Chains A and B, each alone.
Chain A
Amino acid sequence: MSHKHLNDRREFLRKLGCTFAAGSAAALLPQLAFMPKARALSNNGNGGGYRALVCVYLNGANDSFNWLMPRDADVPGSHYDRYKIARGGVYGATNTAGLAHAFNDILPISPSNQASAFGLHPACTDFTAVNGALNQPHSGLQSLFNQQKAAFVCNAGTLIAPITKTQYNAGAAKPAQLFSHNDQALQWQIGQSTTDSQSRFGWGGRVASVVTPTPLANGLSGAISAAGSTRFLLGNQITPYQIASNGVNLIDNYTAGVNGNFNSQRRALLNDLLDDAYAQPFSKEYAAIMRRSLSIGEDLSGLLAGAAGTISTVFPAGNSLADQLRIVARMIKIGKSSLSAERQVFFVNYGSFDLHDGMFVTGQPEATAGHGALMTELNQALGAFWTAMNEIGTQDEVTSFTMSDFARTLSGNGNGSDHAWGGNMMVLGGAVQGNKLYGSYPKLIINSDSDADKDWSFSRGQYIPTTAVDQVAATLAKWMGVTDTLAMDTIFPNLNTFAVRDLGFMGV
């Protein structure tokens, strides 16, 4: 993107401001739908076509050092051995406080850019999704990794600038409120570690405001959440649309055009009330949300109910993440085929990963109980989603990635782990340069302090991240079309403090 384009967009927004000078542009955004040419001015720097990001947020801090772990050899001195020691030994009947998986239970992977082997949580196998009478086999994350469709970014976390343990102990700048769930989640979603926890926008929303600044023809925002309100999707002039897992929930008893019980008349009155001007800001916002819900909802509902909104891929039943990703898949399908969307950013949210207790469950399989239950649902939801992307022909156009508050202490507290810092995240998609690990996987040593290896941890194995959220996010943003340096630095103001702006997992 050139500066010229940036100026074009500013000019466009300025004109927009004039158009609606008398009122709030935000409240009137759906009207932009009648300005279809507006989108032509937006900047999709990385070529045309359709592209989407899907943020899979793992709520409560996933113990990601039990998702991706070393599996070189089960001998003293090996990387796996360090893992086993740091995690208090292999969990079992005689070691209920241990948090390590047994060597042979870990699913082997061989990242092409690593000297030694790694492995994934035992839940990450191929599987058959069952939903009522329907069933369908899907690939699991181990297979997708091996097929070069998935990669991991290792020891990523919130950072203001690179920091060593010595610097940390000397009081160098570090992210505010480390180890606190909501604050760290916020910083992941903002895409920078700021001391200002009230920072307005998330990086998903900021990216959307560059690559898809105006709503689609029916008023649908380029930022869509299947998990309710989220900071991640808020952007300048971007008001995220929120959809339920089961699709659009249309209002009952107020159906326009239905005469029974005064439906249409009450609906007209409701519209009238919602269109009124309200001085009280909460009343005004309430009206705007409900009005938007009614107008976009009825259009989307029609699309979702038709062939364009239907997919045949079988998602596993009773899996809330699968439910969310299924509606995302349907929205991608209608977005691309019916609404001429070019860029969309989605958000789903899963779990309660805050396993201070119950990482394993006595007498139950590690692959499916405790943390394994969450890993199983994650594996199955992503596996089915991958199949769905194949069904609608968007495997190369949609990139999913996980984020989580932080990883957890390597050492346990009895049968769980506590809050830590850097962790591992996964990127999945046809455009991903897969079967690789990016960043630097730690040595997994409690209280490590090696500047030579850039390997730093604290007394319970809380690792200092060696890759910043900002870098991960910027790599994805670039793929979405934020190619201009200035625009990138506006979205990620701290990016310049890190040596590498593009981690390379989306190719070059």
Chain B
Amino acid sequence: MKLKPMSLTTLAITGLAAIALLYGSANAQQRVADASTGDPELLGLQFNQNLPTEPNDILFGGLAGDFENHSTAPANDAEAARFLTQATFGPTQVELGELKSIGYAAWVDRQLNIDPTLQRPVLESQIAADVAVNPRPAGFYLSFRQERWFATAATAPDQLRQRVAFALSQVLVLSEVGTLNNAPIAVSEYNDILLRNAFGSYRTLLKDVTYSPMMGQFLTTLRNQKTDWTLVGGVPTPGLLAPDENYSREIMQLFSVGLIQRNRDFSPVLIAGVAQPTYNQDIITQTAKAFTGLGFSCNAPATFGTITLNHNCGCTGIACNFSNTAIFTNPQRYNVVVGANTVLTALYHPDNYRPMTCYPRYSDTGRFQTAANNYAVLPAPNDTKLIISGVTINPSPVACYSGTPAADQLACVNYCTEQVDTVVNTLSLHPNVAPFLSRQLIQRLTTSNPSAAYIDRVAAVFENDGTNTRGNLGAVVKAILLDTEARAAPGINFGKLREPLLRLTAIWRAFGITPNASGAYGLVAPERAFVQRPLGAPSVFNFYEPDFQQAGEIQAANLFSPEFQIFDESTSISASDELWRRIFAGYSTAATATTPFTAPAATGYLAPNIIDGLPDANDKLLDELDTRMMFGQMSASMKAKLLALMDTTMVTTDKRRRALSMIHLIAISPEFAVQR
């Protein structure tokens, strides 16, 4: 649908009214009323002079208008590069060619069907090989995981899956900062969970995350225990232990439904103008009871070359689930005495990352703790758990304790896992999940400020992918990337501040990043300059939050700008410096006229043959950099300034220096900073 430019106030109200008509609900009417009280001057100020020449039909929902034109195939290199910036860790010439030849949808379909490039199996064998000959403390091996991550981001063929897994790692956040700082293999397995499920079922993803002992350690469900109810003088009395509420809260607040009820387009459900909470503290407390009794599973010894590691549970099979001690055992870590010291390496028995198992004796089964009253069902309301959506988990039909008869043991284990599954299933069916997840994935891939209609279209696919399947993440990703709002010429507020790591990987991939002679990229502490480290956020709230609004004009315009939370006076400079080191790695700037290259020993580098293969003429060179880095969207003003520097000042230097200098200037420019 094409609109003539008009007063934005009118446009906004008309659009919202249209949504209201689509919904036909009192809530939507309420939203219109709210919008009409907004400051029209502010709206006008924000948008008037910047109306896109071809306004998107986003406000009116549906896939009308120019959908065909926008969504089949890129018209040129610039459109292709823009798409690949949204869908990968950065466009390459090869990927650009493929995309242009087969079109957007076919490219996505092809990506959906490439097997995942997993990181844990490779990392585990690398670490096993290293500790066998030169064992070092676990912290040393964190760099191995970073290397593996960057190598995969830079070169793996399943780029879309890798990029989506990175997005998911910022929603279902797990961090190796803290408890997991000696477990890079396990953390890489968490990344693999995200990779395996990136295009699969959201429910399976949430389940795998929940049973992961990495998450069990990060958000403390591992060995989380039930309240020990006993009879004291005939009165049911709780002990002082209570189930840890950490995971119960965050799985709801951050991993699935969020804090307030949402319409499918992410607008809050308002009753008399008031947002409605999705759950309360009591639901958190009761849900926490379902996440009790989980511990490392018990499996046979594992062999890595000459190294054998055990998990000494002292039991096998289902007997372990009823052991009093197995839940407290740790999978063996490979330790070796070197001189006077014991070196604790990062190599673990795989139970350290295999899904947790249930120990029903420690799980809340809605029953008493002691034999004194025959492990009877607790009096109401402590016998049941009322979780979100009004779902109730009833007490176990059989008593679960260390002496549970063999005939009842399986029922106990099943009860324990089924109550976890019930929480996961209930959450995955909650109506909030579709808009909550869709919006965040959109923010990670295409734009910080999707229109309500964009969210709604994607959330509709989350609810039903067309085959009556809910939570098909592959279909959701495809909907995000092929949506008319993502493919049309970007409106003025469309896009996102590039994530710091994506800034780097885009440059790496645009100019043929090559690892050093030992295969390393040499970026082992990216958080120092970029404040972003893969699976290394400061907390479960990620590096930045989806609702962050940078103070000033961005906030005044009510725009969200998550990535600005880590972009400030200090990090703007540290990022620039780090990008310089990466771009100029191996290239000497000692002389002015020539820029000799020596492959650096410590880091990866931009391949000289690719830099040398760029066009010679300054204007052609700049055009090529524009296409590779900025989808040909560099403003005439910026281009003129860069060209002037090369034409008038850098006339005495070689092309390498001109090219590398321009790449860095573009990399730190305000225009490149924003992914449109």
Contact of A273 among B277, B549, B638, B649 (CB under 8 A): B638
CB distance from B587 to the nearest CB of A (A): 11
Would you give the 0/1 interface string for B522-557, flagging 1 where the beta carbon is closer than 8 Å to chain A?
A: 000000000100000011010001011111111101
Contacts of B492 in A (CB 8 A): 279-281
B674 touches A282 (CB 8 A): yes
Contacts of B577 in A (CB 8 A): 249, 251-253
A293 touches B572 (CB 8 A): yes
A357 touches B244 (CB 8 A): yes
> Quick check: is A352 within 8 A (CB to CB) of the other chain?
yes
B570 touches A249 (CB 8 A): yes
In the bound complex, what is the Cα–Cα distance between A180 and B258 (angstroms)? 11
Contact of B580 among A253, A269, A281, A409 (CB under 8 A): A253
> Quick check: is B439 within 8 A (CB to CB) of the other chain?
no
A413 touches B645 (CB 8 A): no
Would you give the 0/1 interface string for A189-213, flagging 1 where the beta carbon is closer than 8 Å to chain B?
A: 0000001011011000000000000
How many A-B pairs fall under 8 Å by CB? 210
Q: Which 3 residue pairs spanning A and B have beta carbons closest together?
A: A293-B569, A88-B240, A242-B568
Given contacts A252-B580, A273-B638, A274-B670, contact A286 B497 (CB under 8 A): yes
Q: Which residue of A lies closest to B644 (CB)?
A: A269
Contact of B670 among A97, A228, A287 (CB under 8 A): A287
CB distance from A206 to the nearest CB of B (A): 12
In the bound complex, what is the Cα–Cα distance between A182 and B541 (angstroms)? 8
Contacts of A418 in B (CB 8 A): 242, 244-246
19 further A-B pairs in the complex, CB-CB below 8 A; given A26-B552, A283-B671, A286-B567: A198-B547, A228-B568, A244-B570, A244-B574, A270-B668, A272-B641, A276-B638, A279-B50, A280-B676, A282-B561, A285-B561, A286-B674, A293-B570, A352-B539, A356-B245, A411-B242, A412-B242, A414-B241, A418-B242
Secondary structure of the A contact surface, majority rule: loop
A285 touches B564 (CB 8 A): yes
Give 16 pairs: A residue, B residue, CB < 8 Å, sorted on A. A97-B241, A177-B277, A178-B281, A181-B539, A229-B568, A253-B664, A261-B592, A266-B645, A279-B492, A283-B673, A285-B552, A285-B564, A286-B670, A289-B567, A416-B220, A419-B245
> Quick check: is B275 within 8 A (CB to CB) of the other chain?
yes
CB distance from A98 to the nearest CB of B (A): 8
Contacts of A117 in B (CB 8 A): none
Would you give the 0/1 interface string for A143-180, flagging 1 where the beta carbon is closer than 8 Å to chain B?
A: 00000000000000000000000000000000001111
CB distance from B298 to the nearest CB of A (A): 20
Contacts of A289 in B (CB 8 A): 567-569, 572
In the bound complex, what is the Cα–Cα distance between A246 and B471 (angstroms)? 46
In the bound complex, what is the Cα–Cα distance between A292 and B567 (angstroms)? 13
Contacts of A201 in B (CB 8 A): 551
Contact of A297 among B249, B538, B573 (CB under 8 A): B573
CB distance from A473 to the nearest CB of B (A): 19
Count residues on chain A whose CB falls below 8 Å from chain B CBs: 78
Binding site for B on A (CB under 8 A): 24, 26-27, 59-60, 88-89, 97, 177-183, 195, 197-198, 200-201, 228-229, 234, 239-244, 248-254, 261-262, 265-266, 269-270, 272-274, 276, 278-290, 292-294, 296-297, 352, 354, 356-358, 409, 411-414, 416, 418-419, 460
Contacts of B12 in A (CB 8 A): none
Contact of A413 among B224, B531, B551, B674 (CB under 8 A): B224
Contacts of B673 in A (CB 8 A): 282-283, 286
Contacts of B611 in A (CB 8 A): none
A356 touches B246 (CB 8 A): yes
Contact of A285 among B225, B253, B553, B565 (CB under 8 A): B553
Contact of B549 among A183, A198, A248, A293 (CB under 8 A): A198
B568 touches A281 (CB 8 A): no
In the bound complex, what is the Cα–Cα distance between A460 and B239 (angstroms)? 11
Contact of B240 among A26, A262, A412 (CB under 8 A): A412
A269 touches B545 (CB 8 A): no
B568 touches A414 (CB 8 A): no
Would you give the 0/1 interface string for B654-676, flagging 1 where the beta carbon is closer than 8 Å to chain A?
A: 00010001001100111101101
In the bound complex, what is the Cα–Cα distance between A477 and B565 (angstroms)? 26
CB distance from A254 to the nearest CB of B (A): 8
B275 touches A282 (CB 8 A): no
B551 touches A280 (CB 8 A): no
For the side of the interface on B, what is the size category? 35 or more
Binding site for A on B (CB under 8 A): 46, 49-50, 178-179, 219-220, 223-225, 240-246, 249, 253, 259, 274-275, 277, 281, 284, 448, 492-493, 495-497, 531, 538-539, 541, 545, 547-555, 557, 559, 561, 564-574, 576-577, 580, 589, 592, 637-638, 641-642, 645, 649-650, 653, 657, 661, 664-665, 668-671, 673-674, 676
Contacts of A269 in B (CB 8 A): 641-642, 645, 665
In the bound complex, what is the Cα–Cα distance between A248 and B571 (angstroms)? 10
Q: Which residue of A lies closest to B635 (CB)?
A: A276
B569 touches A356 (CB 8 A): no
CB distance from A154 to the nearest CB of B (A): 23
In the bound complex, what is the Cα–Cα distance between A244 and B531 (angstroms)? 12
Contacts of A411 in B (CB 8 A): 240-242
CB distance from A212 to the nearest CB of B (A): 16
A276 touches B259 (CB 8 A): no
Contacts of A282 in B (CB 8 A): 448, 495-497, 554, 561, 564, 673-674
Given contacts A200-B551, A414-B225, contact A290 B642 (CB under 8 A): no
A251 touches B573 (CB 8 A): yes
Contact of B539 among A60, A252, A283 (CB under 8 A): A60
In the bound complex, what is the Cα–Cα distance between A198 and B642 (angstroms)? 40
Q: Which residue of B lies closest to A205 (CB)?
A: B551
In the bound complex, what is the Cα–Cα distance between A414 and B223 (angstroms)? 9
